[in-house]
């Protein structure tokens, strides 16, 4: 079906959404104005030539709170500003003169040399901070604008970059962390990830999208890149006539209006993934809604059009050919986090290690690189569960490596509670946060390990607990068994304190669906360990054979 004819009334409505393809080019909000006034990629030259020399106070506010994001730079939260006051403060009052810097790690693929360089940069320029994000990136904090050009130089010398790590553009391309070594792999998506990054990241044609644009590519039967909640996803599937390729999904995303991605019913061979990716991205660029920021993600266009029309526009206007119809990929029902020791296709092993909620440090990254190299490995991976994986470990080196990783706080046989907890950045550094998350996740894990040691052998799949500092759901509130959305709540003494709205029973893959936001179900931060303990004990006592928390 082709798009219906555009009647004057319809055109008026659609123009109201600010869609470029319908002729509407005049910016309808400040973000669109900023992008039109100057290509955000141009800010790099100003950082290198002006701001790094003249200091924080010389930075143009439009660059500081807008275009800097295209290079992975956000001002971090001024220390000591508490969540309760956020609503009455202007954004600039929350700005610290230090930055968070996000290093993009496409496909989660790092050499040990790259990992060591990130760690050393952290030690020298970022007060030894480092967080593994749930999108396979690594974030540093306390970065000064004066040091940014040197940091870029060091990153780029080893093939890393911060380009388009944030902003209204194609963010990091998620990839299966075990691509190319997984014994069960359907297809290795690595060549497509590398080609997309090479051709399109930092390219002017996609530097001004309506909003952020998230990609996931995995040929693993584990769906280990959360394809259900990305803007565009390619998921491994075998076509009965054509063989291995990808099932194409579009329009997933969480935040305040969550949607699961929908299948377009098309099978895409590996070699065509970059072209199809560019086609979908161009549909988003041209037809995406630009009037209201909260409706600008691709998921709103997909929800309005439906899969059939989206595919028709993609084929007719952008690819100029039909896609091949294909079968649906089968959702998995096991863990997707790669924690522990697993055999690779070549007979070596990969070892997945768990820091709590992704919190590591520059020193830990350097130590992981050294530990990996000591056992002959040159490859590490990041995962969307905030974990690290060391690849290519000979069997004879497994015990020593695991011991060394455990010694630096990365457990390869973690308790289910440690394994199940994730957290976003939270109030420590994020200006949008209402509550603390990382430190709370660490104390929650420690509490649960102490309190629930007697029942942990009964847990066959970790119960996921995702802590988010605000409604933006960066740590995937709605698809956790226990999703926690940070907000100020009233405690028993009538005081306003940090706490969480609870979403229960969300999941992905075979359990794909959003957790129920039970009316009035809120916990204070202080009550959180009691609450999770109660829920876990009740579930374990009452579940039927094989029942998962999300069911
Ligand atoms: Fe910041 Fe909110 Fe995202 Fe957490 S969920 S990182 S607090 S924007």
User: pLDDT tens digits for 225-274?
Assistant: 999 999 999 999 999 999 999 999 999 999 879 999 999 999 999 999 99
Q: Give the model's confidence band at 1: pLDDT under 50 very low, under 70 low, under 90 confident, else very high.
A: very low
Tell whether ligand 1 has an atom less than 6 A from the beta carbon of residue 424. yes
pLDDT > 70: what percent of the chain? 95
**Residue 432, helix vs strand vs coil:** coil
Backbone CA torsion sign across 541, 546, 550, 551: negative
As a whole number, mean pLDDT of residues 325-354 equals 94
Q: How far apart are CA 353 and CA 50, in angstroms?
A: 42
Burial label, 199 (beta-carbon count in 10 A; 0-12, 13-18, 19+): middle
pLDDT at 87 (0 to 100): 57
pLDDT at 511 (0 to 100): 78
Whole-prediction pTM: 0.94
As a whole number, mean pLDDT of residues 276-293 equals 97
Q: Give the model's confidence band at 13: pLDDT under 50 very low, under 70 low, under 90 confident, else very high.
A: low
Tell whether ligand 1 has an atom less than 6 A from the beta carbon of residue 430. yes
Buried-exposed string 359-385: b where 16+ CB fall within 10 A, e elsewhere: bbbbebbbbbbebbbebebebbbbbbb
Mind listing the pLDDT tens digit for each residue in 297-323?
999 999 999 999 999 999 999 999 999
Q: Is the pLDDT of residue 149 over 90?
A: yes
Assembly ipTM: 0.99
| Cα angle value 301/31/126 (rounded, 5°) | 110
Strands (E), 313-400: 324-325, 340-343, 349-353, 359-361, 379-382, 388-393
Neighbours of 212 (CB within 10 A): 19
Tell whether ligand 1 has an atom less than 6 A from the beta carbon of residue 456. no
**Residue 411, helix vs strand vs coil:** strand
* 371 within 8 A of 397, measured Cβ to Cβ: no
Mind listing the pLDDT tens digit for each residue in 353-377?
999 999 999 999 999 999 999 999 9
Q: Give the model's confidence band at 544: pLDDT under 50 very low, under 70 low, under 90 confident, else very high.
A: confident
Atom of ligand 1 nearest to the CA of 430: 1
Q: Is the pLDDT of residue 512 over 90?
A: no
**Residue 392, helix vs strand vs coil:** strand
pLDDT at 548 (0 to 100): 75
Tell whether ligand 1 has an atom less than 6 A from the beta carbon of residue 425. yes
Q: Give the model's confidence band at 551: pLDDT under 50 very low, under 70 low, under 90 confident, else very high.
A: low
Q: Is the pLDDT of residue 84 over 70?
A: no
Atom of ligand 1 nearest to the CA of 473: 5
* 507 within 8 A of 331, measured Cβ to Cβ: no
> If you take atom 3 of ligand 1, which residue's CA is the nearest one?
474
Packing angle between helix 112-125 and helix 148-157, nearest 10 degrees? 170
The alpha carbon torsion through 116, 120, 121, 126 (nearest 10 deg) reads: 130
Q: Give the model's confidence band at 518: pLDDT under 50 very low, under 70 low, under 90 confident, else very high.
A: confident
Average pLDDT, the chain: 93
Tell whether ligand 1 has an atom less than 6 A from the beta carbon of residue 218. no
Report the 3 state secondary structure along 283-297: HHHHHCCCCCHHHCC
Written as six digits, the tokens of 229 are: 């909640």
Tell whether ligand 1 has an atom less than 6 A from the beta carbon of residue 124. no
Tell whether ligand 1 has an atom less than 6 A from the beta carbon of residue 469. yes
**486 CA from centroid of ligand 1 (Å):** 9
Q: Is the pLDDT of residue 402 over 80?
A: yes
pLDDT at 94 (0 to 100): 79
């Amino acid at each position: 079906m082709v798009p219906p004819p555009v009647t004057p009334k319809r055109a008026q409505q659609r123009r109201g959404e600010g869609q470029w393809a319908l002729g509407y080019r005049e910016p309808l909000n400040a973000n669109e104005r900023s992008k039109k006034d100057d290509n955000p990629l141009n800010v790099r030259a100003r950082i290198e030539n002006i701001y790094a020399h003249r200091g924080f106070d010389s930075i143009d506010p439009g660059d500081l709170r807008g275009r800097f994001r295209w290079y992975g730079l956000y001002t971090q939260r001024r220390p000591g500003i508490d969540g309760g006051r956020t609503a009455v403060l202007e954004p600039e009052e929350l700005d610290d003169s230090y930055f968070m810097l996000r290093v993009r790690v496409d496909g989660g693929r790092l050499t040990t040399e790259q990992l060591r360089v990130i760690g050393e940069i952290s030690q020298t320029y970022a007060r030894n901070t480092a967080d593994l994000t749930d999108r396979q990136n690594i974030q540093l904090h306390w970065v000064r604008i004066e040091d940014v050009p040197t940091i870029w130089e060091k990153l780029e010398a080893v093939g890393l970059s911060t380009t388009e790590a944030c902003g209204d553009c194609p963010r990091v391309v998620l990839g299966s962390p075990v691509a190319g070594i997984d014994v069960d792999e359907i297809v290795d998506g690595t060549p497509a990830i590398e080609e997309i990054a090479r051709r399109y990241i930092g390219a002017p044609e996609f530097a001004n999208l309506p909003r952020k644009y998230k990609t996931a590519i995995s040929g693993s039967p584990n769906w280990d890149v959360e394809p259900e909640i990305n803007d565009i996803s390619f998921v491994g599937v075998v076509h009965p006539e054509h063989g291995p390729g990808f099932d194409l999904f579009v329009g997933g995303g969480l935040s305040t209006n969550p949607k699961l991605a929908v299948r377009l019913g098309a099978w895409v061979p590996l070699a065509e993934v970059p072209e199809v990716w560019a086609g979908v991205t161009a549909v988003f660029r041209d037809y995406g809604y630009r009037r209201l920021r909260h409706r600008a993600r691709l998921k709103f266009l997909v929800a309005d059009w439906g899969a059939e029309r989206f595919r028709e526009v993609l084929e007719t206007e952008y690819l100029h050919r039909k896609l091949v119809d294909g079968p649906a990929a089968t959702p998995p029902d096991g863990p997707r986090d790669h924690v522990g020791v697993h055999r690779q296709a070549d007979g070596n092993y990969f070892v997945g290690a768990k820091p709590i909620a992704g919190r590591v440090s520059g020193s830990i990254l350097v130590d992981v690189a050294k530990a990996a190299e000591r056992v002959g490995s040159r490859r590490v991976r990041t995962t969307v569960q905030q974990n690290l994986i060391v690849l290519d470990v000979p069997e004879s080196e497994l015990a020593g490596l695991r011991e060394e990783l455990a010694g630096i706080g990365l457990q390869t046989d973690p308790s289910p509670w440690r394994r199940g907890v994730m957290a976003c950045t939270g109030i420590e550094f994020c200006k949008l946060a209402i509550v603390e998350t990382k430190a709370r996740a660490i104390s929650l894990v420690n509490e649960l390990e102490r309190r629930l040691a007697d029942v942990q052998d009964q847990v066959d799949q970790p119960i996921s607990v995702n802590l988010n500092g605000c409604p933006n759901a960066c740590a995937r509130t709605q698809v956790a068994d226990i999703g926690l959305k940070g907000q100020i709540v009233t405690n028993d003494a009538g005081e306003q304190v940090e706490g969480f709205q609870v979403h229960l029973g969300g999941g992905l893959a075979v359990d794909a669906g959003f957790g129920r936001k039970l009316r009035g179900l809120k916990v204070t931060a202080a009550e959180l360990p009691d609450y999770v303990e109660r829920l876990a004990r009740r579930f374990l006592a009452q579940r039927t054979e094989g029942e998962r928390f999300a069911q």
